Amino acid sequence: MSTVEATYCSQGDMQFVLPSIDEYDTKRVLMTNWVASSTSNLYELHNSGYVSVLFKDGQDLGTENGSEPSSNNQWRYIEADDNLEFFLSSSSASALNSIIFEGGRDFSDLITECRKRGSDFTRNLISKPIYPRKGVGVQSAVGNDYPEIIVMIAAHLACYFLVNPYNKELGDELYSKVSNTEGDGWADKINRGEIDLYQEDSNDAVKGILREITYGGSSTGNISAVRGVPTTEWDVIKIIIESGNNGTFTAGSASSVKYTTYTKNDTGLKITVNQSATVIDGSYQSVGHGMEVRFAPGVYSSNDEWELECSAPQYLDQSSTAIKYANNARV
């Protein structure tokens, strides 16, 4: 059966949360009570318990046989009889009883199921849409396809499903990071608007989110401050030191360094020139859409580039605004 729902975390994310996940491999050592069956070279282990994957001295013996085993290392579990069948030529029951057989689930399959369950629970706990973070220049520093807070929630829940049957205290600790009765879990804070998801126009965008795109190895100057009230619904402003406009901006000397900015138009982002070859003077200087930046003294190299994401306050997604509380008492 196919699915269109995403799995938010990887096994690596689970190991980041719980480095000891390998300790929860659910394989168990089977009893050493093999007996010969009425079929030559076919042996049986009665009351073996459910076996979906069989290991012989640590070796995965592969997929269960659909009929009575007839070749070396073939096996079948008969659930109705709780009976495990195993075929091995030129052997004996006593020889099989000296071999370590393990049964259980394949650990990789178990991890995959935990990741899927953790992701499904994440969707159930978060009362907002969860969008992928894909595209050039939009991924997080870690490089995940989904917001890092969502990845960590799913990874904690996946680890919870893995360990809770064996260590409830640790399971409760993992789950409480996500949601708890005090309401200070990550999912709780997302639902209250105290933590924003990537796609939400947060208060940060109203103030301006500055990102460094390209920075020369010899550059020492940078944008040190941002201010203003955005006048656009949403845009990402390109700020660049174009070739020929580079140099050193020093307090007490006339500046030769110039910056240029680009804003969106109806054909795309960073298209229309807003400020063209404007001399950097160290004051707050316009970059477009009512926003200003201040350049610090230092060396500016050709193609040093930043982007400033901004969104006007009237377009702020109110679902991302934290709920505020007030206490009222009657005296």
* Total-model pTM: 0.68
Q: What percent of the chain has pLDDT over 70?
A: 94
3-state SS assignment for residue 303: coil
Same domain, 186 and 210: no
Residue 60 in domain:
yes
Same domain, 276 and 209: yes
Render the burial of 188-200: b for 16+ CB within 10 Å, e for the rest. Answer: bbbbbbebbbbbb
Which band of pLDDT confidence, cut at 50, 70 and 90, is reported for residue 133? confident
Same domain, 209 and 292: yes
Same domain, 98 and 237: no
Which band of pLDDT confidence, cut at 50, 70 and 90, is reported for residue 198? confident
Q: Which residues contact 57 (CB under 8 A, 6 or more apart)?
A: 99, 100
Q: What's the chain's average pLDDT?
A: 91
Residue 322 in domain:
no
Is residue 327 scored above 70 in pLDDT? no
Query: Of 52, 70, 104, which one is at a domain's C-terminal end?
Result: 104
Same domain, 35 and 184: no
Q: Using CA atoms, how far apart are residues 45 and 51, in angstroms rounded to an integer?
A: 11
For residues 95-116, give the mean pLDDT.
92
**Rg over CA atoms, the chain:** 31
Same domain, 134 and 272: no
Q: Using CA atoms, how far apart are residues 31 and 93, in angstroms rounded to an integer?
A: 12
Query: Of 192, 215, 231, which one is at a domain's C-terminal end?
Result: 192
Residue 324 in domain:
no
pLDDT of residue 201: 61
Q: Give the DSSP letter string of 25-57.
A: ---EEPPS--EE-SSTTEEEEET----SEEEET
Q: Using CA atoms, how far apart are residues 275 and 268, in angstroms rounded to an integer?
A: 18
Length of the chain: 331
Q: The tokens of 52 are what?
A: 């979906």
Query: Of 160, 192, 224, which one is at a domain's C-terminal end?
Result: 192
Residue 184 in domain:
yes
Residue 2 in domain:
no
Of residues 307 and 204, more confidently modeled: 307
3-state SS assignment for residue 12: helix
Number of independent structural domains in the chain: 3
Same domain, 15 and 126: yes
Same domain, 161 and 15: yes
Is residue 199 scored above 80 in pLDDT? no
Range of the domain at 252: 203-312
CA-wise closest residue to 140 among 235, 234, 222, 211: 211
Same domain, 111 and 184: yes
Q: Give the DSSP letter string of 185-238.
A: SHHHHHHHTSS--TTS--HHHHH-EEEEEE--TT----EEEEEE---SSSEEEE
Same domain, 230 and 298: yes
Dump pLDDT digits (tens) for 221-278. 999 999 999 999 999 999 999 999 999 999 999 999 999 999 999 999 999 999 999 9
Residue 39 in domain:
yes
pLDDT of residue 315: 78
Is residue 331 scored above 80 in pLDDT? no
Which band of pLDDT confidence, cut at 50, 70 and 90, is reported for residue 81? very high
Dump pLDDT digits (tens) for 167-186. 999 999 999 999 999 999 99
Same domain, 136 and 243: no
| Residue 316: C-alpha distances to residues 68, 173, 229, 279 (Å) | 66, 35, 12, 33
Give Cα 174 to chain centroid, integer Å. 16
Residue 261 in domain:
yes
Is residue 2 scored above 60 in pLDDT? no
pLDDT of residue 197: 86
Same domain, 72 and 17: no
Is residue 140 scored above 80 in pLDDT? no
Q: Using CA atoms, how far apart are residues 71 and 220, in angstroms rounded to an integer?
A: 72
Which band of pLDDT confidence, cut at 50, 70 and 90, is reported for residue 202? low
pLDDT of residue 322: 52
Residue 291 in domain:
yes
